[in-house]
Amino acid sequence: MLLDAFSTGNSPLHTLDPRVKLLAYLPVTILTALSDDLRQASVALAGGIVLAGIAGFYTRLLLKRLAVVNVFLIFLWLTLPFSVSGEPLWHIGTLALSKNGVSLCLLITIKANAIALFTVSLPGTSTIASLSHAMLHLRVPKKLVTMFYFFYRYIGVIANEYENMLRMLHARGFRPDTSMHTVRIYAYFTGMLFIKSYERSERVYNALLMRGFNGQIPLLAHFTLRRQDLVFTWCMGGFVLIITLL
Amino acid sequence: MHISEGILPLTTLGAGYAISALGVGVGLKNIRDDEMVRTALLSSTFFVASLIHIPIGPTSIHLVLNGFVGLLAGWSCFIAIGIALLLQALLFQFGGITTLGINTLVMSLPALVCFLIFSPLLSGKKLPVAMTGFLCGFTSVFFSALLLSLSLATAGESFFPAARLVFAANTPLMLIDGLITTLALQFIMKVKPEMLVS
């Protein structure tokens, strides 16, 4: 299970200080999410496209990710054009597509895609380990960050367990279909997965305890701000200013 | 169940963050070191378990299991669900960082309510395990879908049809999650009851 697929690479964005990336990410994302102006949203989207380009992400993987983002918006495209009142654009039988509804859908779609691009190219270009470290600098509670790190660390392990159990089921001739039998098998499967994780958590805790765990992980590497980090901060500051002034 | 970025107004997003932060804060306050590790791995399992797809005719549906997580995590359920959603927001770009608060609230508040209602019933053996499990799985998804629709409705009257559609689309999931929770709970009560009865 490859999770942080975008975090490997050697583009300028990948080498930036993750603290700077998080600090730039939050204002642009919040600003974009709350904007209700089509021009602002378009500029944000253009910025997102540029950032993804700098990170070297013009690939099929990015399109797949964006497709997922847009699937969630189908609900809106199915309802909003009909429910927003305003000047009709098109008539389908008794239903009228309103111009305001379509432009509202368009606005939301542009904003969602812009934010998705910010996410892959800013926090997405750092590993989860360094993002966790950066979160500590941004005053996220230590225990929460430690738990987030453990959670991330053990996804791969649990996913392995999941795949092994699934292989075992298939080897014994299990073929999922729409039946109570399938539901029962998957329920026991789920129960077993949770039991295994519970038992593993005891072993992990004992191993940690033996190594002197006291609720946090000591850090060896530290971040240093370099010139490119400052230049990037200024650029993003300018970008935020442009969006606000529009 | 997610709300995409760029739909909800600031007040809803802010309220989501405020309540979720409170939930996470309460969870963090008295957590012991061993519970930290246990909750983190529970969260990993919750994340992986969403890969399980139950076939329904030509399509399939993936499990939510937030009521089940509520029973296992108790007061830490806001943390367990919140960190899983944080990772999703950072890596998969659905949900998102501005909607993290409200999405966490939508999933975790029903989980916590289920824990408070059904955990005493389970340890007191006042209801058959099967019925407790079904009610827990069903109500947690029911309330999550309801919260999701309500928060969508705060975006304005024009979002009401979308809110209703989202709620309707989640009804099969309530039944499936109820069934799976029933059977999985029975399994755990038989194999490792100390996971639940605290």
Q: Is the pLDDT of residue B154 over 90?
A: yes
Q: How far is Cα B142 from Cα B173, in angstroms, rounded to an integer?
A: 9
Structure tokens, A153 = 């660390």
Q: Please check whether residues A57 and A156 belong to one and the same domain.
A: no
pLDDT digits 0-9 by tens, B55-111: 887 788 888 999 999 999 999 999 999 999 999 888 876 668 999 999 999 999 999
- Collapsing DSSP to helix, strand or coil, B183 comes out as helix
pLDDT of residue B198: 61
Domain, as residue range, for A73: 18-133+224-245
Q: Please check whether residues A46 and A158 belong to one and the same domain.
A: no
* β partners of residue A90: A97
Which one of B40, B157, B165 has the shortest CB-CB distance to A147? B40
- A190 reaches B (C-beta below 8 A): yes
**H-helix or E-strand spanning residue B160:** helix B160-169
Contact B28 A141 (CB under 8 A): yes
Q: How confident is the model over B176-181, as a mean pLDDT?
A: 95
Structure tokens, A209 = 């305890």
Q: How confident is the model over B22-26, as a mean pLDDT?
A: 96
Q: What is the 3-class SS of A85-111, one letter each residue?
A: CCCEEEEECCEEEEHHHHHHHHHHHHH
Q: How many folded domains does chain B comprise?
A: 1
Structure tokens, B52 = 């399980």
Contact B52 A190 (CB under 8 A): yes
pLDDT of residue B114: 96
Q: Please check whether residues A114 and A173 belong to one and the same domain.
A: no
Query: Domain with B131 in it: what CATH number?
Result: 1.10.1760.20
- B38 reaches A (C-beta below 8 A): yes
Q: Please check whether residues A22 and A124 belong to one and the same domain.
A: yes
Residue B29 domain-assigned (yes or no): yes
- A19 reaches B (C-beta below 8 A): no
Domain, as residue range, for B29: 10-193
- A188 reaches B (C-beta below 8 A): yes
pLDDT of residue A108: 92
Residue with tokens 């590497």: A221
Contact A65 B93 (CB under 8 A): yes
- Collapsing DSSP to helix, strand or coil, B96 comes out as coil
pLDDT of residue A2: 66
Q: Is residue B36 a contact partner of residue A146, using CB atoms and an 8 Å limit?
A: yes
**CB neighbourhood size of B161 (10 A):** 16
Q: Please check whether residues A69 and A163 belong to one and the same domain.
A: no
Across A166-175, B46-55, B136-145, least confident range: B46-55
Q: Dihedral sign, CA of B110, B112, B116, B122?
A: positive
Using a CB-CB cut-off of 8 Å, the residues of chain B touching A215 are 33, 36
Residue B35 domain-assigned (yes or no): yes
Q: Is residue A187 a contact partner of residue B183, using CB atoms and an 8 Å limit?
A: yes
Residue A7 domain-assigned (yes or no): no
Higher pLDDT residue, B176 or A87? B176
Q: Please check whether residues A165 and A60 belong to one and the same domain.
A: no
Which residues touch B32 (CB under 8 Å, ≥6 apart)? none
Q: Please check whether residues A29 and A114 belong to one and the same domain.
A: yes
- A21 reaches B (C-beta below 8 A): no
Which one of A33, A68, A202 has the shortest CB-CB distance to B92? A68
Q: Please check whether residues A129 and A235 belong to one and the same domain.
A: yes
Structure tokens, B115 = 């824990």
pLDDT of residue A38: 92
Q: How far is Cα B100 from Cα B90, in angstroms, rounded to an integer?
A: 10
Q: Is the pLDDT of residue B142 over 90?
A: yes
Residue B39 domain-assigned (yes or no): yes
Q: Please check whether residues A28 and A120 belong to one and the same domain.
A: yes
**CB neighbourhood size of A180 (10 A):** 9
Contact B42 A197 (CB under 8 A): yes
Q: Is the pLDDT of residue B185 over 70?
A: yes
Q: Please check whether residues A76 and A120 belong to one and the same domain.
A: yes
DSSP secondary structure string for all residues of chain A: ----TTS---STTTTS-HHHHHHHHHHHHHHHHH---HHHHHHHHHHHHHHHHHTT--SHHHHHHHHHHHHTTHHHHHHHHHHS-SSEEEEETTEEEEHHHHHHHHHHHHHHHHHHHHHHHTGGGS-HHHHHHHHHHTT--HHHHHHHHHHHHHHHHHHHHHHHHHHHHHHTT----SSHHHHHHHHHHHHHHHHHHHHHHHHHHHHHHHTT--SS----------HHHHHHHHHHHHHHHHHHH-
pLDDT of residue A133: 93
Q: Could you list the mean pLDDT of each consecutive 10-residue stretch along chain A, which spans 246 residues? A: 79 92 93 92 95 91 88 84 79 78 92 93 91 92 95 95 96 92 95 96 95 85 89 93 88
pLDDT of residue A1: 61
Q: Is the pLDDT of residue B138 over 90?
A: yes
Long-range contact list for A212-215, CB < 8 A, 24+ apart? A213/B33, A214/B33, A215/A142, A215/A143, A215/A146, A215/B33, A215/B36
pLDDT of residue B94: 65
- A150 reaches B (C-beta below 8 A): yes
Name the residue in chain A with its Cα closest to that of B9.
Answer: A34
Percent of chain B with pLDDT over 70: 97
Residue A9 domain-assigned (yes or no): no
Q: Is residue B48 a contact partner of residue A112, using CB atoms and an 8 Å limit?
A: no
Q: Please check whether residues A95 and A126 belong to one and the same domain.
A: yes
Residue B198 domain-assigned (yes or no): no
Which residues touch B27 (CB under 8 Å, ≥6 apart)? B75, B76, B77, B78, B79
Structure tokens, B46 = 């919750």
Q: Please check whether residues A206 and A149 belong to one and the same domain.
A: yes
Residue B1 domain-assigned (yes or no): no
Strands B59-62 and B53-56: antiparallel
Contact B166 A198 (CB under 8 A): no
**For residue B29, what pLDDT band results from cuts at 50, 70 and 90?**
very high
Residue A50 domain-assigned (yes or no): yes
**Interfacial A residues in 217-246 facing B (CB < 8 Å):** none
Contact B87 A152 (CB under 8 A): yes
Q: Is the pLDDT of residue B32 over 80?
A: yes
**What is the Cα A29 distance to its own chain's centre?**
12
Average confidence score pLDDT of chain B: 91
Residue A2 domain-assigned (yes or no): no
